[in-house]
Structure 1
Amino acid sequence: MKLSAGYLYPIKSFKDFKDVDPISSLLSVLSKTQPNDRAVIQYLLVPVSSSWQKAGNRAIHHKDKDSTGAVQTNPYAKVIAEKIQYNGFKTAIRIAVNSATKERSDTLFYQVASSFSSFSNPSGNSLVFKRLYLWQRERLLNSMMKRSKRFMPRSQILNVEELATLFHFPTLKLSTIPSISWHKVILSEPPENLPIAEGLSDEEKEDINFFASTEFKNKPTIFGIKGKDRRKHIYIIGKTGTGKSTLIANMAINDMRNRKGFCVIDPHGDLCEVLLDYIPSYRVNDIVYLDPSNQERAFGINPLEVNEAHQRELVVSGIVAIFNKLYGHSWGPRLEYILRNTLMSVIDMPDATLLMVPEMLANESFRNKVVERLNDEILKSFWVNEFANYTDRLKAESISPIQNKVGQFVSSTVIRNIIKHPKSTIDLQKIMDEGKIIILNLSQGKLGEDNAALLGAMIITKIQLAAMNRVTQKEEDRRDFYLYVDEFQNFATTSFVKILSEARKYRLDLILANQYIGQIPEEVRKAIFGNAGTMMSFLIGAEDAPFMAREFGERFKEEDLLALGNYRAIIKLAIDSITQAPFLATTLPLPRSVTQNREKAIRSSQERYTKIIK
């Protein structure tokens, strides 16, 4: 585009547009583009000296005589004076378009070029299209890509007022124009020491889990979190469909490729299906794929299996916490008292399993056999001197709630096939120490909500105990193991409190995600916000916004948290053990390339960790 008259004559400025935004015509054309259309408008500015303004002054004061000899002043003196009062830049305005056909490209080009007619000043200047020869067009495109000064008009100067009219952020007057991407959240500067890939060796990159991008030092940059900072745990909150599961999948895929050990617990099953498509060939034999809904083969997990005697109370407390989580609405002190004593007694039996709990309460002969083996005098006294003296009615009232709750699960074929084995088919401590990968598919649609919650909470408790067994290892020898739990409120027992506060020294690092703060029990909520070093918030509900706004400090307000688009998150990241100020980021999409190792990994896992159901 070029000026139709000399550079001293102005085009329209924003002062000449009363009720409309100056760029409304241009944006209106762009808003109607078709899917295959591409349009670029480039403004190239070069500073100039004040010599053009001096030339303008001379033009203002220049006088001519007409045929009668009368002195005539410059009729354009006023508009020239208005233009030269502001600094100017030599300006090139370049347009490039492309579409599916030449006809459509030509139409689009003329529509874009014609929109500049709205800047025509009847008493000044206008912008008109200058056609290039065919051989010049490729050179112009190269110049545009390089922002080169080639094809720069020699004497085309626009002042800052004209330039501000030509390009500026859209105003609310343009809110009716479709397809404008309005930015609803305040931008913020990320930390100066953000972990990015640039300048790192391959070994250093393997220690960083890259999961998002942000504007860093004026350019889009992919960043991640260091291994040592993941030990402070990660909490992710966001409504369904905002990007939480994609974030977890990306982090897990990154860990998979970098030979890290982790466990993913997925109550929906979709996340597990995604991960199976990204298994590298060198990790096939590391996969432990657990699908409780498989009707032909089952893995074995015995909640009552202990390797060390001192762990018995921890195991029992974990199981009690699971049932309390599931049946808190009908929980009472007597129920917990009898259930705990029953579990503490049964766990002393050889090959003890949860199937013995209902039998312990209902079968007097079996109960006497268990009591005879007890070495704990307090436990023995409970059964001999207290429980035995209950009236039949009191016994029935005491044990029926436990039988109802435990019996609901042991009567489930799916659960029974998993918990009936005295010896677990999965050695969780060995899996953690060897850096293997557990993918636990707890699809509630296949298992039922309660069964999925029981299995998930049970395995989390077993992982916690396996981590605590590392106390005999030197701290530097403990291999990091990452526990990803999506919709973790389904499994949120007091085990999480202990993991959040103590497990980092055992190198068990949590990545927890859910939709609403109100879903989390208060004790667990306090542990999360007191211990999680990294927090990420996607779009959340109005009830959670005040809480998270306080957590993020003054940089982001409630309305920012309520206006995030999908895959956009406000992140408070731990870097070098220090939690940094929050900033805005966009989580990465899933990798494009998938592998073909799904069936091989599932088959290998079944052969190692499951048994045929008989």
Structure 2
Amino acid sequence: MDPVTSNPIDEGLANFDPAATMANLDWVQILAWVTKAVIWGGSLMLSALILAMVLSFWLYWRRTLYRDRMPFVTIAIDIPPMEIKSAKAIENIIAQLYAIKSKFRFHHKWLRGQYTLQTSLDIVGQDGYVQFLVCVPDKYQNLLEKAVYAQYPDAHLRVVPDYTREFKPEDFVSENPATGRYDLWGTEFVMTRPSFFPLRTYPLFVDASGKEFSDPLAAVLEMVSHLKRGERFWYQVTIVPTRKDWQAEGIKAIQAIIKRKNIDQKPSILGAIMGPFTNMINEVLRVSMEGLLGSPSEQALKNQKKKDPDVVSMDAEQKLHMVPPEFDLVVKAMREKLSRLGFSTFIRALYIAPVDVYDKRRVSGDFLGIMRQFTNPQLNSLASNIYIEADFPEIFFPKLRAKWRKKRLLRRAQKRYAGAGVDDTSPLGPFQKASTRNIFSIEEVATMWHFPLMELADKSGLLRRVLSKKVHPKQPLPEGEEERVDPALPAPTQILVDPNITFFARTNFRGLNRKFGIKREDRRRHMYVIGKTGMGKTTMLENMVYQDILRGEGVAVIDPHGDLVDNIVNMIPPSRINDTIYFNPADKEFPVAFNILGEENLQHRYLVVSSLVGI
């Protein structure tokens, strides 16, 4: 039999005395170690927080400079009555606007402050008339026009002044009655649940037969058509192509629903307090990582698909048995939204009117009720943001805070605020990150902003539409403008034109404003001007005569009325004053001798006499 060997570990455990061990510990030394660890850890955390704040303010400043030097254009869109289609056409336009999403290098983000700019889809009502507009960065104007013309070939697009710049904050917040002549109500709408839960979209506004479509914007147009003179209503849907973080969150939410977990958890009090600081740190880290390694959200989505391909890529028939029956429709709707492109969206409404006709209760009550029709039962809905809404009841300093809210809301409307702190006047601007909530799919955006159906447009009669059809020139026009510079000529006349063409008009088809005219040989044989009073006949002749004078050609104008000649005399340049003969038979003080029979050519003399006999 083998001898039993002793185990040192067993002997140590047998001889271990907890009371004696605790008595022999140097608690003072341990407390000193813990204190040093807390101090060092707190110092590191405080240093990291200060560094994040400095970087966040730097990024905020650079983005502000970038936003201020980026011009935006406001484009009014008029649609022919016979071309008004369903919201599907608008969905195709919005899908092309996703190309605005840009990827910037590290130094472009941190030194130049570049970020993806927003597009605003607007509906403006004033004095009962309705105008559809789009506010887009100037460099993307061509992209928008091509997208609209692809769906509406006969649409009329024109650049107009920004309607929001008509008002200043002093018009609403000033104590001076001379300037504070207007009052304002407005709000912004947010989703009541996470973004991966869809709203009610335009396919769900069709009746059971599938034939009758109830346009969700019909109520908006009806409300705007009843505005009084001086009242204005602004409806803005501001969109920014978003990252794919929300899709990864939606996939996790589907997994949680399958496991019967609650996904509508509200943040704790500590989370709400620390939210601005965590947003600031996350934004700094996100911008840094995207600039160096690319978008982490796309990689996270790919990893999520690798981990659980059943939830992400399985066919609907294969995964139905995984979803609890009561959540079947919810998961299907979520998957449908997650499969589409997403836009960070802000829906904004403002009502502005003179003080004497201002009626907030009528407009605000109607519009808040209109927005409830987008509620999708068991999924998502829209609610007014009480932190933004003007005239929301306040407890402390209600008048002062109401003025500040109106000023802030007007600023957000003018800047087309879309989640970036640089477009807001809030002191928490640097602490705001690019929002990953309020993500709308292209189908949801098209539901919120689209042209009404033809029947509704004809019924309202107040929608700005194309009244005459414009077509492309069927044959090449005589343009002939040469962008050549002659240094011998003064600066205003350095651009030379073809001397064989007399210009008198510009094309306006799809914004291609090109100068064209008539050739010299055609002008000699086929020139005849006819039209009603006020159509521009005299102005066209003035332009043609003025071009002949500048070219040094001989010009003869016979005007039985006198107004055309008076305008031409005022346009004669000093270089041709000595070449001018002004003959006015009614001028008795300075008569001009004119012998109509004094022609040396006998053939012309017989022709003149024959004409006189005919008269």
Band of TM-score, shorter chain: 0.3 to 0.5
Q: How high is the TM-score relative to the length of structure 1?
A: 0.40
TM-score by length of 2: 0.40
